[in-house]
Amino acid sequence: MLAATDPNRISFPKLGIELTVDSTAFTVFGFSVTWYGVLITVGMMLAMIYAFSRMRKFGLDSDRAIDGVIGGIIGGIIGARAYYVIFHWDSYAGDWKAIFNIRSGGLAIYGGIIGALLVGSIICKLRKVRLLPMFDLVSLGFLIGQCIGRWGNFMNHEAFGSNTDNIFGMTSGKISAWISANYPDGSVNPDLPVHPCFFYESMWCLLGFIILHIVSKKARKFDGQIFLMYVIWYGTGRFFIESLRTDSLYAGTLKASQIVAVISVSAALILLIIGFARTKRLGSDYQLYVNTEESKRLLAEADERNSKGSAKDDAEEESAPSILGDDAAERESMLIDIDIPNEKSADESADESAVVSAPEADAEESAEPKPEKTQEEINAEKDARIEALLNEIISKTKAESEAGQGTDKK
């Protein structure tokens, strides 16, 4: 099988697809940038774009919330790596350099979620950003990031499962080598296709985002609802997908992600039921944060700050020096004072001739008629005056510049 001999060759036999997938995207000054890192970054950027586009719909001031988002990203990366290293400690003990090398993989999603929520919550508290609506919004961002980030596992030939004969079964040289090294008993056949668990989870997150996006716009009853639904949705899918995987993280003899999934889904389900019951009991007395006076006041203050900032920028732009020099006002007024003949319509000329006094009319009749200037002659005079004035300005500027240079030499 070609995939078994070429480490970078990935094959989907039943789909008739074979791809050469190198984990390195490109190299800059000898530094390799991996597809894993690129896709994780793209996922985070798209998640941020989505979150900031809907910030006001959740009653949040983006100027305050951005600190929480940045803190959450940092906390998420640290948490994802720490979670992975803890459950692979035998591979990292004493090798501190390897612990901090995340370019080739080794990030656990559950650790990332936990780290992002912890650090983000602390910063949001300091910045006086309401947590529950913020959690609702970032949970939608999580789904975007996870959907795209899982394809980083594909580029690394990881996050796969046991043998399968379904249409999506995949194999590669790296996958076969890993199975041979870790399943010498033959319980997983390295020569047969395996479940593409990364693909299952990516599609699960995409479907979850579509559903929760619609719910957030049409049926959000209380703050925190979307976050709890996210925990339930993702945890349920992760529990079943994890049961297929052969490269899972273990806590003893149990798969760590399945343990976290059971605990988080159970807790979120209880809280979701309580939330709906409380909202129903309060009825019209309950308000989403976006509808509260506090939210409206903070958003109004943000609008005022932004308005003042724009006005300040406009004022600075108006006060910027002219390219014509210090005496620009004088030179600009010279341009304004150019006497350019006006073109008058036939009606205006008729009105003016109607009010000419009789003596003046007689004098005009006795005088020899002057030939009228054509429009081309008028335009030529206009161009000549402008050209003369510009030449005068250039000459004056050049003289001032030479005078200044002479002073500097002295």
pLDDT digits (tens, 9 = 90+) for 378-407: 777 777 888 787 778 877 777 776 665 555
Give the pLDDT confidence score for residue 1 in this predicted structure: 46
- Per DSSP, the chain holds a count of helices (H) and strands (E) of 16, 7
355 pLDDT band, cuts 50/70/90, is very low
Residue 376 domain flag:
no
In this model, does residue 3 exceed pLDDT 80?
no
Lowest-confidence pick of 88-102, 269-283, 293-307 = 88-102
pLDDT tens column, 100-118: 877 666 888 899 999 999 9
pLDDT at 358: 46
Do 84 and 111 form a contact (C-beta atoms < 8 A)?
Answer: yes
Residue 138 clears pLDDT 80, i.e. is over it: yes
Distances (CA, A) of 79 to 96, 97, 182, 326, 335: 16, 17, 27, 58, 66
pLDDT digit string (tens) for 201-221?
999 999 999 999 999 999 999
* Residue 6 Cα to chain centre, angstroms: 37
Mean pLDDT score across all residues of the chain: 84
Percent of the chain scored above 70 by pLDDT? 79
Residue 59 domain flag: yes
Domain that holds residue 224: 2-286
Span of 188-192, 265-269, 285-289, 357-361 with lowest mean pLDDT: 357-361
Task: Give the pLDDT band (50/70/90) at residue 363.
Answer: very low
Mean local confidence (pLDDT), 356-361: 47
CA distances from 59 to 64, 102, 120, 210 (A): 12, 36, 17, 21
> What kind and span of H or E run contains 112?
helix 109-126
Please report whether residue 359 resides in a domain.
Answer: no
Question: Is 268 part of any domain?
Answer: yes
Per the structure, the count of domains in the chain is 1
Please report the pLDDT score of residue 2 as a whole number.
Answer: 44
Token output for 182? 């870790």
pLDDT computed for residue 356 by the predictor: 47
Q: How many CB atoms lie within 10 A of CB 109?
A: 23
Give domain status of residue 318, yes or no: no
371 found inside a domain: no
Q: Report d(CA 364, CA 361) in Å as an integer.
A: 5
Give every strand in the sheet of 9-12, ordered side by side.
17-20, 9-12, 171-172
Other CB atoms within 10 A of residue 324 CB: 14
Contact (Cβ atoms closer than 8 angstroms) between residue 298 and residue 61: yes
What pLDDT shows up at residue 107? 84
